[in-house]
Chain A
Amino acid sequence: MPTPLHHRARLIARASAPFSEFLGSFRANDLIHWLDGELGNHSALGHFIPHGRIRSRAIPARNILHIVSGNTPHGGMQSLLNGLILGAYNFVKTPSGGLPELEAYVDALPTELKSLVTLSPTIPDSWWARADAVIATGSDASMAEIQKKIQPGQKFITHGHKLSIGIIAEPAGKSLRELAQLAVNDICRYNQHGCLSSQAIYVKSSDQLSVREFANQLADVMAEYEIQNPRGEIDISSAGAISNARETYRFLAANCPDADIWQSADDTSWTVIYEQSPVLKASPLNRFIYVRPLPDDLSQLGPELRYLSTAAVHPFTAEVAESFSHLPASRLCALGESQNPTLFWHHDGYASIAELVSWQDIDLPM
């Protein structure tokens, strides 16, 4: 006899399959294993299980308010997935410009799950009052505004401003072109609007690896990527930020050998900046990438490091990954895989499911 949880997991897995681009590929069993990882044992949802010398069960949030940003669709969809697997009711505040992929996902849910979701571009007062947990994605300023609305006892999970980087520690058998082809996925998918998008690639200079030559090769690959996957139109403000940064770096490059610029002709489709300084700077986005030398002392990356989400590392071995684990990144992954977190990832360091439950104990052994 399937439990409600197993039944829900099957429905979710089936409905999510066409949206694997945003949610990753998973089966019902993967969702159950995910809960095992988050809660210690999926059976804790609704049942008392041994917990040391006592017994405990996990009580999921009944109502979750998701405040979703329009940057990329997958953040909102993954947030909703967390609520659905718990069987919570989900109020979803969509961006003012809409989020078609999320709306399509909700439309594709079977009635049983769809009845657990309401989408709205505005937040009625009743949502604030009823939400046991609020999950919000947006700018730091938006987070501060939302914080003012949070009531005592409500959980508030924030996903504020974040950025990601790529790190190439050594070629490890890959050509510059192959490395650039890996990096371009991390840079160009979603046009750098998501927190998982690389905004700088750090390259360890060596006899086999020239940082500037990598930047040159990356420019070629960016141009090819643009032909295959055109970036599309951007608003005037975004184009202005790119052209302003380009002209500033052109001025710097004209006066100093420590900088160089490669760019698309006649438009702002893509830009590669090589700069000798290791200091991490936020990119103007929309396929504007910095290439910088990787310093031995990673604190030289400067204050922007505090916003680090993911470091996509090459070569990606346990040894190399752990050598960068002192970075304040909540995730280390392989170069080229930045945009593909697994179901098990801790978004911004949060336990996606465990944060959404509270525990009830019975002080008796099983």
Chain B
Amino acid sequence: MDAIVDKITRWIGAPESDTETSFDELAIELFHYQFAHNMAYQNYCRALGIDTAEQISSWRDIPAVTTDVFKLAAHNPSSVDITSCNHVFHTSGTTGESFGCHYFPSLDIYESSILSAWHELDQPAISQPLIFTKNHSLSPHSSLVHMFECLRRSYAANTDDSIYLIDGDGQLDVDAVRRAAASDKPVSLLGTALAFLHLFQLMEKSGDSFTLPAGSWALETGGYKGSQFSLSKEELYALFAEKLGLQPDQLVNEYSMTELSSQFYTRGIGNAHCGPRWTRTRVIDPNTGAEVAQGELGYLVIYDLANVHSVSAIRTQDLAISCGENQFILIGRDPSALPRGCSRSAQESLQAAK
């Protein structure tokens, strides 16, 4: 493994008090590594007029690639030989649409990022988890399912695949939620917004509504683009309250994507998403590419040092308002972008079951 990969892996795993190495130093060192080892990225940098890595002196100037370049099969933006990679995560693609691939020779740094961020960003303790996706073996190329599995192995090692509530045919196990509601231990629900919405529809049909035990919480992620649904966060959270007795401060939203290796979290409504210390964000004006002033709307660009095996700087198609170096208010998916995302994938599973 290259020295920079090892260095970042250790930095991510280190306590927050480790300030000897700055983000900027590591970001530049990682850019040098990726410029040297990622020929597709280097060629792109050259097309932007960056002929040597030395031309970049701040993380803010590192060229970001679009998520769509992960769909270019012949020019994947990987910093490692993809034929040597044991792991690949796919973006969800609709019928006829190509999907993106993010390759990993090892998931060590990926998992370290998940677990360290969960701890560092003070996410709630996981107790009696129920996961609203197919299980890990049925979804080997889903980065979201891998994240849930990583959390399960670390925080609920005594559980098994039965906590994954969507079966191979796309059927959702509502009875498992009913049983959890009847127990006296707090429950942790993790899933996509679309899967939760499907749960609420099934509960509506059967006339069910549960009150989860005190201390319970839910993590939801993904949007509705490309599905037949269109719900505001307020509407979704009202359903959590009505159907499960969970209030907004018991609801976590996770923001990430297959092309990243780190996650951003927020709780409740109207609050900023926060990333771990190995991430930074910029919000840019799409007309000029320049960073907009704090408080203004633009496109979210994420700098993720855990993305060592591809490109650290990813340009999203999400609109956001910058609130700080790794905090932003998420406005949502650019309406002109194509359907994508984990939530869409779950929706396809559920639709296939109808």
Chain A residues with a Cβ under 8 A of chain B: 236-245, 247-248, 250-256, 266-268, 284, 303
Contacts and interface: CB of A to CB of B under 8 A. Distances in A.
B317 interface: yes
B197 interface: no
A252 B40 CA distance: 9
B287 A267 contact: yes
A266 B287 CA distance: 7
B65 A266 contact: no
27 contacts: A237-B319, A237-B335, A239-B286, A240-B299, A240-B337, A243-B289, A244-B286, A244-B317, A244-B334, A247-B65, A248-B68, A248-B69, A248-B72, A250-B44, A250-B47, A250-B48, A251-B66, A254-B46, A255-B40, A255-B44, A255-B74, A255-B75, A256-B74, A266-B288, A267-B288, A284-B336, A303-B96
A202 to B, nearest CB: 20
Nearest to B39: A255
B65 A268 contact: no
Given A250-B48, A254-B46, A255-B43, 19 more contacts: A236-B285, A239-B286, A240-B317, A240-B319, A241-B336, A242-B286, A243-B289, A243-B299, A244-B315, A245-B68, A248-B66, A250-B47, A251-B40, A252-B75, A254-B44, A255-B39, A256-B75, A267-B287, A267-B288
Nearest to B318: A240
B276 interface: no
B80 interface: no
A247 B336 contact: no
Nearest to A248: B68
A244 B288 contact: no
A107 to B, nearest CB: 32
Given A244-B66, A247-B65, A268-B286, A252 B336 contact: no
A247 to B, nearest CB: 5
A12 to B, nearest CB: 37
A243 B287 contact: yes
Contact of B66 (A236, A247, A253, A267): A247
Contacts of B65: 247, 251
Contact of A237 (B48, B315, B336): B336
B276 to A, nearest CB: 26
Contacts of B298: 236
A284 B66 CA distance: 15
A238 B69 contact: no
B53 interface: no
B190 to A, nearest CB: 30
Nearest to B42: A254
Contacts of B40: 251, 254-255
B334 A237 contact: yes
A323 B337 CA distance: 35
A70 to B, nearest CB: 15
Contact of B319 (A236, A266, A268): A236
A238 B286 CA distance: 9
Nearest to A243: B286
Given A251-B72, A268-B286, A238 B336 contact: yes
Contacts of B68: 244-245, 248
B75 to A, nearest CB: 4
B47 A252 contact: no
A253 B47 CA distance: 9
Contact of B75 (A237, A238, A245, A251): A251
Interface in B300-347: 315, 317, 319, 334-337
A253 B69 CA distance: 11
A218 B297 CA distance: 33
A242 B96 CA distance: 22
Contacts of B74: 255-256
A251 B334 CA distance: 21
Smallest CB-CB A-B distances: 4 pairs:
A254-B47, A254-B43, A240-B286, A241-B336
Given A253-B47, A255-B44, A239 B66 contact: no
B281 to A, nearest CB: 16
Contacts of A266: 288
Contacts of A268: 286-287
A253 B43 CA distance: 9
A113 to B, nearest CB: 37
A206 B141 CA distance: 44
A236 B44 contact: no
Interface string B268-308: 00000000000000000111110000000111000000000
A46 B66 CA distance: 61
Contacts of B43: 254-255
Contacts of A238: 336
A236 to B, nearest CB: 6
Contacts of A255: 39-40, 43-44, 72, 74-75
Nearest to A141: B228
A250 B47 CA distance: 7
A17 to B, nearest CB: 37
A344 B70 CA distance: 47
Contact of B334 (A241, A253, A267): A241
A256 B75 CA distance: 8
A236 B332 CA distance: 13
